[in-house]
Each structure stands twice: as C-alpha cells, then as structure tokens.
Amino acid sequence: MNRQTRFFFFALRLGALIGTVFGMAAGAAVLDPPLFGAALGALSGAIEGTTLMALIGGAEIFLPRTRIGRALERAPFLVTLAVKLLAYGAVILLVVGGRLGPRLASYTLGGEFAQAFDEQVRTRIPAALVVVVDGVFVSFLALVRQLSDLVGSERTIRDIVLGRYRRPRTEERFFLFVDIVGSTPLAERLGPASVHGFLDRVFQIVSDPIDDHEGDVYQYVGDEIVITWTLAGGRSGARPIACYFAVKSALELAARDFKREFDAVPQLRAALHAGPVITGEVGGRRRAIVFHGDVMNTTSRLENATRDLGRPFLVSEDAMSHLDGKEAYKAVDLGPQQLRGRAAPVHVYAVELGAEAQESSARQ
C-alpha cells in the first residue's frame, strides 16, 4: 500500500505537469494576449490533468487489489481493455467535455472577467478536440498497461520499444529461482485443473512482493518462478533476499485460504545466484528478451541442491558478495558444494531471517 500510495501521488504530479504544459500551449494559441492565455490555460490544464489522473490513475493503481479489479484482470485481454476504455472515456467526457478546468479556473478568478474567460475558452477551444486528444493518450496508456501484464513489467515494454537488446549485450544479473513445493502430489490427488488454480493463485499473490522489491518475472516454468535483477537494481537492501522472504510471508498469510480451497499449503524452495549473462531479443512474430549463460544453469542446479542439503533457501557466494544490507539476514556458511552437472564446486550459504529482519517482517 505504501508503494501504491507513493506511485499515486507521483501520478498526480505527472498529471498536473502534463495538463499544465498542454493547457499552456492551447491557451497561448487561442487566447489574447498569448502570455495571459498561457497562464489561464496552464491553470485550467493543471486542474483537468490532476482530476483525470486521480480518477484514471487511481483506478489503475488501486482497483486491481479489489474483488472487482481481480475479476476484471482475469477476463480476456480484449474484454479488460474494452471495459477500461469505456470507463475512462466516460471520465474524460465528464471532466473535459464538461469543461471542469475552465469552470474552476474562472470560478477562482471570479467576476465578469471570469465569465469572459470561460466564454472565450468555450468558443475558441473545441471540447471535442480535447476529448479526442485525451482519449487517445489514455487509450495508449491503458494498452501499455495491459501489455506490460502480458510481458512482465513496464520495464520490459520499455526495453523492447527502445530496442535496448536488439543487439545482444553482456550484463551482470541476479537470478532467483523459486520452486513451489507440493504441486505434483496435488495434481495426482485433485487433477490438473486444481493444480492450475493452485499455481495461478500462488503466482497472483507473489506478484506484489516481487514488484515491491523491483524484480522482473522472467518466466514461469511449471511450478517455478524465475525472477531477475541487474546487479545495480538488486544490490541495495539485498533486494533478492528480501524478495524471497516477502514472497514466503505473503503465502503464509494466505495459508488458511489455500488449505480451505485446495487442502494444501504452498511451500517454497529457492536459490539465488549472480553472474554474467548474454541478454538479447529473440523471435520473429513474438519477440522476447531472453538470458543465456552458465549462471542460469548454476542457479537451477543450486535450487535442486536445496533437497540434498535440506535447506529451503540457498545463496551462492557470487550473489552474496554483490549484496548490500545482507547483515540483516542469518547466513550459514555451507562451504563449497559439488552441484550436479558442474565440475567446479560452488560456495554456498543457507540464508534465514535474522532477528532484525524477523521484526521487520512481523511489523509488515
């Protein structure tokens, strides 16, 4: 909620800025004198921009966490997009078509001058034009928002649009593999439909903690989630480690619901590793950003080792050495471990919540 609230107020400021710039340009173009028109247009635009962002941005930020929002997100892509465009179009029509900005601006000014200002705006700035412009802009944002849900995050959309990985590049990255324990016996006991519902619920619940810690979901592989950060993005506050324990905590809070609906509670095994990968776009009709390198195979082998070592969360020395704030966690040095399929041993730590991290988790 703190993250959402901060983002909401950022969205309000962004809406006010966009509205101010647009209103200033429109006011200077159609009102006399231009400088005075720019000032009045900026005030009117700021009012409408803030109002639109409060209603539309607020819906995008807070609605997905409600029952209606979850039902809407589970609907087919085109249905969700159409409902949003209709609802947001109605908001734009009421705010812009109803001339909320000029009316409030003229009310602020007061007197006969305000009436003259409102009359000039009404006659010289067609409301239909502003509605269309705002509608196109909001439709674009809604489409990007829906597409980001399909590909993983706004960052992935940005990287594809800007062509950041059209040419492969070498990057240093963290990879966190999180395996959901118990889905196989659940499938044998209840069938594939139930296990699909079980995993879908798990993946929905863990999406917020992953976003909170600025991770990107690279892919879902069966009952496993692969999450990644650049070294710079994951270093502060030992984000990958904090993300794992936040995911674990979120699932523990939902344990009663899982027990009631599926007669099973998800348990986790996870591994964290870091190293160089080749990052680049692949594919023809369907483009995707993929990672190639030994670090991926090593992380998978490390996650398999959680079974042999009897530890739910293993972190390699390579990952630990790049993390700031890891002192908040209890790291048990397991020494060099021979992983299956690898010639050289990997230095491994079993990581648990330390006292400070446990207190923080309890407060959350």
d(CA 38, CA 295): 56
With beta carbons less than 8 A apart as the criterion, state whether 266 and 181 touch: yes
Cα 219 to the center of its chain, rounded Å: 14
Contact 360, 241 (CB under 8 A): no
Amino acid at 290: V
312, containing H or E segment: none
DSSP code per residue over 145-182:
HHHHHHHS-HHHHHHHHHTTTSS-EEEEEEEEEEEEET
pTM greater than the 0.85 cutoff: no
Interior angle at CA 325, CA 323 and CA 327, nearest 5? 105
Domain locations along the chain: 2-150, 154-363
Burial class (CB in 10 A: 0-12, 13-18, 19+), 17: middle
Q: Hey, which residues does 267 pair with through a beta bridge?
A: 181
**194 phi and psi angles, rounded to 5 deg:** -70, -40
- Specify whether the CB–CB gap between 143 and 81 falls below 8 A: yes
pLDDT by residue for the chain (364 residues), tens digit each? 676 777 778 778 887 888 888 878 777 776 667 776 677 778 777 888 888 888 887 887 777 777 787 777 777 767 877 888 788 778 877 877 677 776 776 666 654 555 555 566 666 656 555 666 666 666 666 666 655 665 555 666 666 666 777 788 899 999 999 999 877 777 777 787 888 888 988 998 998 899 889 898 988 888 899 999 999 999 999 999 999 999 999 999 999 999 898 888 889 999 999 999 999 887 766 667 789 999 999 999 999 999 989 999 999 999 999 999 999 999 999 999 988 878 789 999 999 986 544 554 444 4
Token pair belonging to 267: 């348990």
Whole-angstrom distance, CA of residue 178 vs CA of residue 181:
9
pLDDT score recorded for residue 280 = 87
Residue with tokens 């030992």: 238
Rg (CA), the chain: 26
Q: Which two tokens stand for residue 163?
A: 């062509």
Structure tokens given for 295: 């670090």
Select the CATH number that applies to the domain covering 154-363 from these four: 3.30.70.920, 1.20.1250.20, 3.40.50.1000, 3.30.70.1230: 3.30.70.1230
Take residue 312 and report the two structure tokens written for it: 């739910």
Question: Of all helices (H) and strands (E), which one includes residue 6?
Answer: helix 2-30
